[in-house]
Amino acid sequence: MALASSPSLSKVYLFLVLLLFMSVSSSYATSRFTHKRDYPTQSQAEKLIRSLNLLPKDSVNIVKGDHVGFVPGKIVEKKFSLFCDSGPSIEDLGHHAGYYSLPHSKAARMFYFFFESRNNKDDPVVIWLTGGPGCGSELALFYENGPFHIANNLSLTWNDYGWDQASNILFVDQPTGTGFSYSSEESDIRHDETGISNDLYDFLQEFFKAHPEFVKNDFYITGESYAGHYVPALASRGFAIGNGLTNPAIQYQAYPDFALDNGIITNAEYDNISKLIPGCEQAAKTCENQGGQSCATALYICQNIFSLILDYAGNINYYDIRKKCVGELCYDFGNVEEFLNQKKVKSALGVRDDLQYVLCSTTVHAAMLQDWMRNMEVGIPSLLEDGIKLLVYAGEEDLICNWLGNSRWAHAMEWSGQKAFGTSSTVKFVVDGVEAGSLNSYGPLSFLKVHGAGHMVPMDQPKVALQMLKSWMGGKLNASFY
C-alpha cells in the first residue's frame, strides 16, 4: 500500500534538500584522518564524532531486558515545555514528544518531537530526517531549523527562522539506537533502507491516526546527508528527502573537480587523485549489480578519493571550505548532548532516566556499511513523472556534499524533462532584495545553489533557508528571482 494513497495523507511531495549532512554521517566518506589501504572501521567513526565535540557514553541505545510494556504499533505522547518556570506553559505550546513502538521489531521504540506551527495549524506537516547514518534529529532541531537554539549556559532561546514558522514539523530519531530511540534487542538495529523505510512508514501511519486534525494538511519529507538514502527509500512508498548522499558514484567523482575549482588542490594533485576515479566507478557498478560485501569494498575504494584530497588540503573544514578546523574540532555541538542528558529535560520529554542520549551512534553507523554506496536516485524519476515536486539544494562552500556533485546527479537523472532541465536558464534566487543563490528549474524539479553557506544551510543562512521552504511549499520558488 503506497503511503500516498493512504487516507491519512491528503497530499504528498518530494522534498530533496540535497546538501548531504555527512558530518557525522560520513565517518567513512568524510574521514580526513588517512587514506590508508584498509577498510573503514568503527574507530574512525568514533574519531569523527569526537571531531564534532560529541562524546557519547554509549555507542548505541540498547536497554537489555526491557520488554515490559512493549505494545507493537502504540504511540505514547505528551505535551512538554523546556522553558521550565520562566517560559510559556505546556498549555500555550503545541510541543509534543513521544515514543512509537515499532511493530516490525522485537522491542524497538522510536522517539520523536512534534512542534505545531507558530503561524497557522493549517500549515503543511514536514518531517525532518538527519543522516549519519546513526545521528539523531536534535542536531538540526537545536542548531539548524528547529524552534530553539541552545546557549552556552544550556538555556534555550527561540529561533526566529525555525521551520515551525511555516510548518508543523516532526523531528525523528531513526534508525533504532540513535538519539533517544532504543531497543532491548541488538537484532532490532537496521542494516538497509527496507527496514528503515518500513519503520518510518509505520510510524507516519500511526502518527496521523493520533493527530487526525492534521490529515488534511499537505505533507513534505525533508532531511539531511545520509537522509539522501532514507528519503528516496521512503519516497518509493510515496514521498521525499533532504541534504543527501543520493548517487554516490557521481558524487564521489565530482570531488576532484570541486576541489580544483576552489583552489583546495593543485593541478598536479588533481591529476593524481583523478587516477582513482575509474576504480571507484567500476566498484560502484559492481555494488549495484552484486550488493553485499561488494558495496563495502566500493566504499573503501571510493573513499580514497576524498581522503587523498584531505591529505593534500591539510587542516581544512570540509563542511565549509572558508574555515579551518581548530585541532580536531570543526564544530562544537556538545551542548546538545549535555542539555538532553539532564534529568529534568528527560523527565519533561517522557524519556526514562537511565537512558543516555546518543546524538550519533557508531554501532548504527557501522551496521549500514553495505548500504552506503547504493544509488538511491533510481526511484525518483517515476515520482517526477507523476508530478511530485523535487527540490535539491546545496551550500556552495561545502566540500563533503558539494553542490557540484549534487547538480551532476540531478542533471544526469533520466526522466522526460531531463533535456529541458539541463538547458534551463540559471536565475538568481532573491531574499529581501539580496541575491541568495542560483536556481535551475523545469517542471517538478528544481536545483538551488545557496550562497554563503556550507554543509548546514539552515545554520549558515537561516533566513534564506526558511524563505526557500516557504517559497517552495507555496509553489512560488520560481517567482523568488529576477
Map out the domains of the chain as residue ranges: 3-247+320-476
Query: Could you tell me which residues are beta bridge partners of residue 222?
Result: 128
In this prediction, residue 72 carries a pLDDT of 80
In this prediction, residue 231 carries a pLDDT of 66
In this prediction, residue 148 carries a pLDDT of 93
Give the whole-angstrom CA distance, residue 257 versus residue 264. Answer: 10
Confidence of residue 460 (pLDDT cuts 50, 70, 90): very high
Cis upstream peptide for 381 (omega within 30°): no
For CA atoms 144, 145, 146, 151, the dihedral sign is positive
Instruction: Residue count of the chain, please give it.
Output: 482
Instruction: Report how far apart, in Å, the C-alpha atoms of 331 and of each of 67, 150, 160, 338, 427 are.
Output: 38, 14, 22, 15, 32
In this prediction, residue 339 carries a pLDDT of 94
Site of grid cell 548522499: 245
In this prediction, residue 31 carries a pLDDT of 33
CB of 52 closer than 8 Å to CB of 331: yes
Burial, 89: exposed, middle or buried (Cβ in 10 Å; 0-12, 13-18, 19+)? Answer: exposed
Q: Is 225 annotated in the active site?
A: yes
Q: Which three cell numbers stand for residue 9?
A: 495523507
Say if residue 4's pLDDT is above 90: no
240 versus 434: the higher-pLDDT residue is: 434
Q: Which three cell numbers stand for residue 128?
A: 525532518
Which amino acid is present at 476? K
Q: Is 149 annotated in the active site?
A: no
Query: Which residue in 23, 26, 225, 471 is the catalytic one?
Result: 225
Say if residue 342's pLDDT is above 90: yes
Q: Which three cell numbers stand for residue 207?
A: 502518527
Closest alpha carbon to 166 in 223, 116, 123, 127? 123
Helix (H, G, I), strand (E, B) or coil at 331: coil
Closest alpha carbon to 33 in 46, 14, 20? 46
Q: Count of CB atoms within 10 A of residue 57's CB?
A: 9
Query: Which residue in 211, 398, 407, 446 is the catalytic one?
Result: 398
Helix (H, G, I), strand (E, B) or coil at 57: coil
Q: Which three cell numbers stand for residue 54?
A: 560529541
Q: Is 455 annotated in the active site?
A: yes
Average pLDDT, the chain: 81
In this prediction, residue 91 carries a pLDDT of 66
Closest alpha carbon to 126 in 164, 166, 97, 169? 169
Query: Which residue in 455, 460, 471, 480 is the catalytic one?
Result: 455
Cis upstream peptide for 133 (omega within 30°): yes
CB of 469 closer than 8 Å to CB of 163: yes
Say if residue 479's pLDDT is above 70: no
Confidence of residue 390 (pLDDT cuts 50, 70, 90): confident
> What are the tens digits of pLDDT across the range 5-53?
343 444 444 444 433 322 222 222 233 333 333 444 445 555 555 555 5
Q: Is the pTM of this model over 0.75?
A: yes
In this prediction, residue 459 carries a pLDDT of 95
Q: Considering the domain delimited by 3-247+320-476, tell me its CATH architecture.
A: 3-Layer(aba) Sandwich (3.40)
Q: Alpha helix locations (H) across 314-436? A: 334-340, 343-349, 362-367, 380-385, 403-412, 418-422
Q: Which three cell numbers stand for residue 398?
A: 561545502
Closest alpha carbon to 219 in 175, 174, 168, 146? 168
> What are the tens digits of pLDDT across the range 351-374?
999 888 888 877 776 776 666 687
How many Å is the Cα radius of gyration of the chain?
21
110 contacts: CB under 8 Å, gap ≥ 6: 99, 100, 102, 172, 173, 174, 176, 181, 199, 203
CB of 387 closer than 8 Å to CB of 11: no
Site of grid cell 534555550: 156
CB of 415 closer than 8 Å to CB of 39: no
Site of grid cell 500511526: 206
Say if residue 184's pLDDT is above 80: no
Give the whole-angstrom CA distance, residue 90 versus residue 92. Answer: 5
Q: Which three cell numbers stand for residue 420?
A: 529541458
In this prediction, residue 234 carries a pLDDT of 66
Q: What's the rounded mean pLDDT across residues 296-312?
A: 92
Confidence of residue 73 (pLDDT cuts 50, 70, 90): confident
